[in-house]
Amino acid sequence: MMRQPIRACGVLITGWLLLTCLPGAVTAPASIAIDSNRILRLNGVPIFPIGFTGPPLPDARTPWGT
């Protein structure tokens, strides 16, 4: 039967995922702060976040109505 090799593979993959993902979840929580110079810091290291948003609709108007 093919069930035993498939089950063994599933157990190995599950074990590998647990061993690789759990150590990251158990580490110390991140410290996020904005300093006096208005710089975003993650664990004391300055970072520059880049975000992506959807564009406005083609017929969208500004808050000023233009």
At residue 6, the pLDDT reads: 64
Its pTM stands at 0.40
- Residue 64 within any structural domain of the chain: no
Identity of the amino acid at 43:
N
15-60, pLDDT tens digit by residue?
A: 877 777 766 666 667 889 999 998 999 989 999 988 888 888 888 8
- Residue 12 within any structural domain of the chain: yes
- β-bridge mates for residue 49, sequence order: none
**Number of domains within the chain:** 1
At residue 46, the pLDDT reads: 94
Which residues span the domain enclosing 32?
A: 3-46
pLDDT range class, residue 7, cuts 50, 70, 90: confident
- Residue 54 within any structural domain of the chain: no
Report d(CA 12, CA 18) in Å as an integer.
10
Identity of the amino acid at 22:
L
Closest C-alpha to 39, from 29, 47, 27, 31: 47
Closest C-alpha to 5, from 20, 18, 13, 17: 13
- Residue 11 within any structural domain of the chain: yes
- Residue 14 within any structural domain of the chain: yes
Helix runs in 1-66, H state only: 3-26
- Residue 30 within any structural domain of the chain: yes
